[in-house]
Structure 1
Amino acid sequence: MGTRSTPLPGVGTQYDFTTEAGQHISVVVHHDGRRFLGFYRADDPDTCQASVPLTPEEATSLAHLIDPMPLEAIRTDGLDLVTEHIPVSSHSPYTGRLLGDTRARTRTGASIVAVLRRTSAHPSPGPDFRLAAGDTLVAVGTREGVDALAEIIAGG
């Protein structure tokens, strides 16, 4: 059992994984954030039985389902803090607007500590950072604060 990565020039990277049962699974990560899951025959590792294309958002959702130990809460000095990934959809009222327009910390007490964008991460974004559809906000705060922030970003 192990993972092998192979650079695909002009495309991205292919990650191959073989389960203990001998099933060969491949994930191709394109430079633009798209992913493809491939399932291969055990007796012929070059024959793809099925391929499933995933958007970055779908890949994130699938990863959260598979991860057996998600980071749900961090305990600091007796305070319960949570870290959440909040997607910015094309329907969000903040798509195309500045992060400062959300007034996230003032309204919820939660902090946006990073913005993940397709193939790059933007740690500690300032109020002049412009949000885009497909971004994922990394927020830290109380459960109530982070949930309130998710509602705001979704337009609720």
Structure 2
Amino acid sequence: MDVNEVLLPGVGLRYEFVNADGDRIGIVARRSGTFEVIGYSMTDPDEGELLFRLTAAEADTVAEILGAPRIAERFADLTKEVPGLSAGQIVVPPASDHVGQPLGHTRARTRTGASVVAIVRGGEVIASPPPDEVLRDGDVLVVIGTHEGITGVRAIIES
């Protein structure tokens, strides 16, 4: 998809693209940190209608909501290209011995050969989590490895 970037002097940047339905959409990133989402008329490309405004925090939340599932999809696509490599998602249950403990404490990669490549926590994605990242109840671990390795990580986390 092509995204056009237009400098708006004194205002910020406007990003424009056409979605799969043929709608022209604009997002104005203001220097103040707020964002405006604009829909353009099909008959007049210069006529735009403000659809809604977002604060910086709201825009971050929307980006995380839209981005989190995409990370898992991209890893799933990668595993199709590499024979023997699989991707899995493991939810950290409340009863896990590892809740409140650092990820490194699990020794999951050493014990199974599979790697935790991301943690999805609510709408937030922690890509390439460091060993000192503390696991929380409800975290979703995105794991890459063999089927057996992923099963092993699941057994560790659910213990």
- TM normalised by structure 2 equals 0.53
Partner of 2:109: 105
1:90 aligns with 2:94: yes
Q: Counterparts of 1:142 and 1:7 in 2: how far apart (Å)?
A: 45
State the shift of 1:92 in Å. 1.0
1:140 counterpart SS class: strand
State the shift of 1:9 in Å. 7.8
Partner of 1:19: none
**Structure 1 residue aligned with 2:156, among 147, 152, 155?**
152
Structure of higher CA gyration radius = 2
Partner of 1:139: 143
1:125 counterpart SS class: coil
Matches within 5 A, 1:61-76: 71=76, 73-76=79-82
The structure whose residues are more often helix, as a share, is 2
Matches within 5 A, 1:15-30: none
Q: Counterparts of 2:147 and 2:100 in 1: how far apart (Å)?
A: 26
State the shift of 1:89 in Å. 1.1
Percent identical: 37
1:80 counterpart SS class: coil
Q: Counterparts of 2:103 and 2:118 in 1: how far apart (Å)?
A: 11
2:81 counterpart SS class: strand
The one-letter amino acid paired with 2:81 is R
- TM normalised by structure 1 equals 0.53
Q: Counterparts of 1:98 and 1:148 in 2: how far apart (Å)?
A: 18
2:88 counterpart SS class: strand
How many residues were matched structurally? 105
Matches within 5 A, 1:120-135: 120-135=124-139
1:107 counterpart SS class: helix
1:114 aligns with 2:114: no
- Segments of 5+ residues of structure 1 without an aligned counterpart are 14-28, 34-59, 61-70
1:90 counterpart SS class: coil
State the shift of 1:7 in Å. 6.5
State the shift of 1:119 in Å. 1.6
- The 4+ residue runs of structure 1 with deviation greater than 4 A are 6-10
